[in-house]
């Protein structure tokens, strides 16, 4: 719940409820998962595939909270009840036309109280097989955090390693296209894992939403089959990779992906085209390297980029910055990369070669 926001008091309701652990294991059985919290709470994180039917909007919660502070709890409850009833009526008018009597929703709010209970009571009285998530989002969040502490140990990961620009993300996509299991952490984090990794104009999800996304992928994977994942650090942009997952990855067999330097430069120019077309955005992002590389070096890169020499800047970044840091980090955090030289994969940057490389990666019988 947003700090300082007003929450209607919890009232015991004669409705069928389900605990968070059971709900997580049976999530796909519900016809619809309905989040009765406000739009900002929903935006921060929500159950997978949930839809937002706010019992109180952000503005309404603030209004009711103000009444509670300045008038009385009774006045706040009166106003809140009216707003909730009006919102539920609008939701029903908008959503009920195509719902059959077999529709079986799961409803939740922050802690399984009045907001979800009010909506669920109406749905239950209509005749729908409605369940309320006991403890609400708060218990769901605790269950996800607990699952992320144990779930990674069940999987056999194959870690795709390789220097920046070698095509690790493309290889994961090709592996997935071939039917193998993939956990693409950078896609889930909306970040490519470097100082240049955030696409201008976009943003990363919240930490809670990222955790939910990781859990939602893992829960659907087959523990009897390997899972391919990229060699990530503990953080992807501003987001932390779950500790148990990163620990499991770091003890897993590695695959080394190699691509010639000139082709790596071209691949990066293609993938980061937004920086090629917006030089000032590129130069602005390079500012983050001043402390590590020095003002003179970074200033030289920026001047070269403004002269149109972006390819040479990218090449120098790879040779003098990314490659040394990556190899040092890899030796420290993924020791099995040295033990599996036979798993090295070399490709030429073409689509047919990428597909062939993906098939080789899948066929390699490396064991944990």
Rounded-to-integer distance, Cα 196 and Cα 188, Å? 17
Rounded-to-integer distance, Cα 219 and Cα 151, Å? 8
CA distance to 9, 53, 158, 175, per residue, from 12 (Å): 10, 21, 48, 50
Close Cβ partners of 365 (under 8 Å, ≥ 6 residues apart): none
- Rounded to 5 degrees, what are φ and ψ at 8? -60, 145
Q: Dmax of the chain from CA atoms?
A: 73
The answer to whether 104 touches 131, Cβ cutoff 8 Å, is yes
Which residue of the set 109, 161, 254, 283 is catalytic? 109
The secondary structure of residue 317, as a DSSP letter, is I
For residues 332-356, one letter each, b for 16 or more C-beta atoms within 10 angstroms of the residue's C-beta and e for the rest, the string is ebbebbeebeebebebebeeebbbe
Specify whether 161 is catalytic: no
Rounded-to-integer distance, Cα 310 and Cα 303, Å? 10
> Which positions are annotated as active-site residues?
109
């Amino acid at each position: 719940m947003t700090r300082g926001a007003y929450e209607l008091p919890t009232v015991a309701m004669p409705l069928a409820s389900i605990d968070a652990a059971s709900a997580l294991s049976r999530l796909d059985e519900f016809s619809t998962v309905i989040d009765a919290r406000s739009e900002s709470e929903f935006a921060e994180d929500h159950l997978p595939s949930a839809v937002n039917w706010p019992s109180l909007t952000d503005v309404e919660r603030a209004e009711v909270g103000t009444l509670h502070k300045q008038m009385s709890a009774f006045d706040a409850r009166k106003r809140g009840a009216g707003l909730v009833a009006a919102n539920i009526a609008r939701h029903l008018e908008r959503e009920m036309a195509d719902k059959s009597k077999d529709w079986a929703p799961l409803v939740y709010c922050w802690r399984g109280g009045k907001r979800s209970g009010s909506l669920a009571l109406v749905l239950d009285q209509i005749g729908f097989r409605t369940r309320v998530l006991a403890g609400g989002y708060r218990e769901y969040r605790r269950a996800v955090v607990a699952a992320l502490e144990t779930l990674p140990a069940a999987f056999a990961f194959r870690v795709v390693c390789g220097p920046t620009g070698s095509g690790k993300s493309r290889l994961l996509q090709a592996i997935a296209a071939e039917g193998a299991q993939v956990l693409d952490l950078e896609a889930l984090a909306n970040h490519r894992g470097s100082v240049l990794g955030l696409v201008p104009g976009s943003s990363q999800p919240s930490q809670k939403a990222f955790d939910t996304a990781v859990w939602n992928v893992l829960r659907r994977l087959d523990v009897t089959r390997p899972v391919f994942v990229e060699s990530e650090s503990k953080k992807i942009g501003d987001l932390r990779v779950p500790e148990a997952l990163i620990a499991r990855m770091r003890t897993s067999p590695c695959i080394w992906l190699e691509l010639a330097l000139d082709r790596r430069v071209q691949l990066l120019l293609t993938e980061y085209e937004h920086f090629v077309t917006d030089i000032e955005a590129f130069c602005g992002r390079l500012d983050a390297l001043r402390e590590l590389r020095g003002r003179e070096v970074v200033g030289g890169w920026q001047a070269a980029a403004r002269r149109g020499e972006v390819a040479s800047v990218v090449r120098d970044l790879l040779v003098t910055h990314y490659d040394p840091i990556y190899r040092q980090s890899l030796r420290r955090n993924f020791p099995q990369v040295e033990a599996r030289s036979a798993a090295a994969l070399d490709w030429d940057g073409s689509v047919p070669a990428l597909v062939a490389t993906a098939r080789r990666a899948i066929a390699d019988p490396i064991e944990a």
